Amino acid sequence: MFLTNTSDASRSPKSTLVHALCVFIFGAICLDAPRAQTGDDANVRSSVDDYLDAIDRVEAMHSAYATELSDLYMGLGRALIDENNYPEAQRALHRGMQVERVNYGLDSISQTPYLLLLADLDAAAGDDKASQEALEGIYQISAKNYGYQDSRMLTTLDQMLAWQLQKYRDKPPRKAFSHILAVERLAARMAGVVQSSLPVSDPRAPSYFAKLAAIQYLIADHIDRHGAAPKASFAISAGPAVHSQSRGSTSFTYYRRGKSALLHRVDAVMQQSQDDPLIQAAAIADLADWYLVFGQTQAAIGAYRLAFETLIDDDISEDVRNTFFSQPKKIQFQLEDNPTDAGQQSLQVGIWITATGRPKDIEVIDPPDELSEQDIEQMRDALRDDRYRPRLNEGVPEAMAHRVSYRRPEAPAAEQG
């Protein structure tokens, strides 16, 4: 039973009959475990009891560190989480990790699922420090198995990044700065791996360079909108101290890092897509977008012109060339896809997009009667914060009318054009 601690790490030889019985018990419990997901308290409790009984049987037949126990402790931990019994869930997960370490070593990769769940539990309890330590444990274990600069570390860093982004989205912005700091540290580590172990010829290189730029944009945008951390109550030892910088200098830091990543992305795309001018032009246009959102208008115009000129190719028809940049496009450096709301009603909004990509003259087309002036003004304020890649006419940005869809005010507003 997981509440009992024992130092007996030896394993006695198993007979065929005993092993078959253990496999049968384990399979039966795994098949029964989904009952814990139904939300019915009685079923959850029954699932917990079943896991405890199975653990007792396996320990009696084998030892307190039988390999079969690790999955049972994971199932028990999840069942206890469903029961909102977090302290006992933590004990079960720690016990499962102990089994993994005894059988597969102190730095076994198989501990990762346990550490992720423990990080979730610590985060739910409001213990940022403990949750970050659990994630750091994942990183250090992976590094000891692969090496800090090995390209296989990118999978671990992606996993950690996804966790931080989820927690960041779940919190009010001013309470989420610890995750911004953690994301910055992850970006520095990811950049080190990409630069050391991912040549520009690697098919993964363009997407990772784009991801690194998107991280810099996320951080700069957060600080621009919400400020830096007040006397940082949570600190990360590695990476720049964001909270000690002014907003202006911080913005320039992330502008420079993102620009570098996108320039490397253009290089990678040029090497990997030599026969596809459309992909090349899109990568150069993304770099131009970066210049534009950070106020580097002249650099943006030059990059947009280069993107257009890249399309002057015998394999690209004039029609394709003329339509590629014919409509404004909202500039977004995203780390994850925006969720779509099936059936969500939206408003049609007319906007004048200037040659520098700024929205003006925002008007709702055929507004419904129930839409108040306050709703309309809030919508205008939200849309004014957007920036667009302007229409290009022979490579030169020019203003034009545009239409976008905008979610109705009764839901959290987010433009989808």
Q: Residues 52, 80: contact at Cβ < 8 Å?
A: no
- Cα-flanking dihedrals φ and ψ of residue 396, to 5°? -105, 125
Tokens matching residue 222: 């957060």
Instruction: Tell whether 73 is covered by a domain.
Output: yes
Task: Give the range among 15-29, 48-62, 128-142 with minimum mean pLDDT.
Answer: 15-29
- Cα-flanking dihedrals φ and ψ of residue 47, to 5°? -65, -45
Q: Which residues of 345-374 are buried (b: 16+ CB within 10 A; e: fewer)?
A: eebebebebbbebbbeebebeebeeeeeee
Q: Burial, 381: exposed, middle or buried (Cβ in 10 Å; 0-12, 13-18, 19+)?
A: exposed
SS3 139: helix
Instruction: Tell whether 182 is covered by a domain.
Output: no
Q: Residues 112, 160: contact at Cβ < 8 Å?
A: no
Identify the pLDDT of residue 308. Answer: 94
Each residue's pLDDT tens digit, 143-197: 999 999 999 999 999 999 999 999 999 999 888 999 999 999 999 999 999 999 9
| Residues 53, 61: Cα–Cα separation, whole Å | 12
Q: Final residue of a domain: which of 106, 125, 149? A: 106
Q: How far apart are the first and last CA of the chain?
A: 56
Instruction: Tell whether 4 is covered by a domain.
Output: yes
Identify the pLDDT of residue 229. Answer: 59
Inform me whether the pLDDT recorded for 337 exceeds 80.
no
Instruction: Tell whether 264 is covered by a domain.
Output: no
| Residues 266, 286: Cα–Cα separation, whole Å | 9
| Residues 23, 381: Cα–Cα separation, whole Å | 61
Q: Final residue of a domain: which of 106, 123, 151? A: 106
Q: Indicate the number of domains in the chain.
A: 2
User: What is the arithmetic mean of pLDDT over 283-302?
Assistant: 96
Q: Final residue of a domain: which of 46, 75, 106? A: 106
Q: Which position has the token pair 């671990």?
A: 156
Instruction: Tell whether 291 is covered by a domain.
Output: no
Instruction: Tell whether 9 is covered by a domain.
Output: yes
| Residues 22, 58: Cα–Cα separation, whole Å | 6
Give start and end residues of each alpha helix (H) in 171-296: 177-197, 205-226, 247-272, 277-293
What's the predicted TM-score (pTM) here?
0.80
Could you list the residue range(s) of the whole structural domain that residue 397 is in?
Answer: 339-407
Q: Residues 351, 336: contact at Cβ < 8 Å?
A: no
Name the strand (E) or helix (H) holding 128: helix 128-146
| Residues 146, 225: Cα–Cα separation, whole Å | 38
Each residue's pLDDT tens digit, 91-148: 999 999 999 999 999 999 999 999 999 999 999 988 999 999 999 999 999 999 999 9
Q: Which residues contact 25 (CB under 8 A, 6 or more apart)?
A: 54, 57, 58
Q: Where are the beta strands (DSSP E) in 264-399?
A: 329-330, 346-353, 359-364, 388-389, 391-393, 396-398
Whole-number percent of the chain with pLDDT over 70: 80
Whole-number percent of the chain with pLDDT over 90: 64
SS3 406: strand
Identify the pLDDT of residue 409. Answer: 65
Distances (CA, A) of 144 to 97, 107, 109, 149, 228: 17, 7, 9, 11, 34
Instruction: Tell whether 332 is covered by a domain.
Output: no
Distances (CA, A) of 311 to 112, 282, 352, 374: 46, 10, 26, 45
Instruction: Tell whether 138 is covered by a domain.
Output: no
How far, in whole angstroms, is CA 63 from its chain's centroid? 40
Tokens matching residue 29: 């419990």
User: What is the arithmetic mean of pLDDT over 251-266?
Assistant: 95
Task: Give the range among 5-14, 129-138, 363-372 with minimum mean pLDDT.
Answer: 5-14
